[in-house]
Each structure stands twice: as C-alpha cells, then as structure tokens.
C-alpha cells in the first residue's frame, strides 16, 4: 500500500464580518476585506495512491508528536498491511522519536521526496483541492467549525474518490528531477484526476 502523507499547517478559521455576496450574471463575487480570526489548525492527510482515498486528522500544532499520532492512526487504518509512506524532508518526519517508533514497525517504511520537490507528493494536489473547494470561501466562526468543514469535505471526497494519474511518461518526470533548475518547480503539469 503506497500512501502520500503530509500536513497543511496554519489553516485559518476566518469569520467574515459580512456574508460573501454571490456571483450573478455580470457581477463578480464580493466579500469584505475584514474578518475575525479564530485561530488555526493543521490538517494531516494520507492519500492512498491506488484509490485516491484520504485518511485525515486535524491538530492544533504540527510538531513530531502530532505527526507520530497521525502515523499511528494511519497504521490502525491499514492493519496488517505493508505501508510505503511518501513524505517530504520536514524535520518532524525525521525526528528521533518518530524514527524510534518506525524502527519497531517493520511493516511501515518512509520514503522521502527530494529536497524542493514536494510537488511529487500527490497529497499536495489534494491539499490544493481542499483549499479551493472547502476553505478559500469559507466562513468559520470557530476552530471546531473549520475542522468540521474539513472532515465533511474529506468524507465526501472518499465517497467519490478516484486515483490521480500522471499524464506524462515516467521518463519525462524523472528527467525533470535530474535537471537542477526544475527541481523546485511546484507545477503539477502532467497530472490529472481527483
């Protein structure tokens, strides 16, 4: 089982001071520039590459403790399965406590994307979709409302999920990784699905 794992931190619970005015023919969407900020949450997500299914968890912080708790949730979600977890080189992913736990979990192996190539991790595409479809225009009077909206989105996503698929041949994608000027390119050119 291949899972793409990462966290989207600093998701803000923003309450607009006035409702967003909807789009009408000939009139663009309008919203006030001012809002009340009710704090932030971090979304941890594991995207199952073969199906597009997502396991998610929100936490107030994104330290190694929260990352480890999420890995443990993922392990419980996929019992008795060999797990290959793709993640970036964020320090919490390599923390000694996390490494110690992983050393005892013979069925779970982490694979790290190259530095500045987080675009290879398909969960980043999922985060972009969550942002556009559930968060950007949201109205969240509390952290609990924000987390509930994220959970609803993930539940609906899982009911209709499809795997992402690369539209470019593997040779082109790998060549892009070898080219030093393009490693940091976060483009998802060559990716479809979702």
How far apart are alpha carbons 14 and 117 in whole angstroms?
30
d(CA 182, CA 155): 35
- Residue 8, H or E segment: strand 2-16
pLDDT computed for residue 187 by the predictor: 46
Half-sphere exposure (CA, 13 Å, Cβ side) for 157? 26
* Residue-range domains of the chain with CATH: 2-19+29-164 (3.30.420.10)
pTM: 0.82
Show the tokens assigned to 47. Answer: 């995207």
| Full pLDDT tens readout for the chain, 194 residues | 999 999 999 999 888 766 666 777 877 766 666 667 789 999 999 999 999 999 999 999 999 999 999 999 999 999 999 999 999 989 999 999 999 999 999 999 999 998 877 778 999 999 999 999 999 888 899 999 999 999 999 999 999 999 998 788 888 877 877 766 654 444 445 555 54
**Cα(13)–Cα(16) distance, integer angstroms:** 10
- Residue among 128, 149, 122 at smallest CA distance from 138: 149
């Amino acid at each position: 089982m291949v899972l793409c794992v990462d966290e989207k931190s600093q998701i803000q619970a923003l309450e607009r001071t006035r409702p967003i005015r909807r789009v009408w023919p000939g009139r663009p969407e309008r919203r006030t520039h001012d809002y009340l900020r009710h704090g932030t949450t971090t979304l941890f997500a594991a995207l199952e590459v073969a199906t597009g299914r997502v396991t998610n968890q929100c936490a107030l912080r994104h330290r190694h403790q929260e990352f480890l708790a999420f890995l443990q949730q993922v392990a419980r979600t996929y019992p008795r399965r060999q797990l290959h977890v793709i993640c970036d080189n964020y320090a919490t992913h390599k923390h000694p406590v996390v490494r110690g736990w992983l050393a005892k979990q013979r069925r779970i192996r982490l694979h790290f994307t190259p530095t500045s190539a987080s675009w290879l991790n398909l969960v980043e595409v999922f985060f972009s979709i969550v942002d556009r479809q559930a968060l950007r225009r949201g109205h969240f009077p509390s952290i609990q409302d924000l987390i509930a909206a994220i959970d609803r989105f993930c539940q609906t996503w899982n009911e209709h999920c499809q795997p992402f698929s690369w539209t470019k041949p593997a040779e082109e994608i790998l060549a892009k990784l070898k080219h030093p000027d393009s490693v940091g390119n976060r483009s998802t050119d060559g990716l479809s699905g979702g």
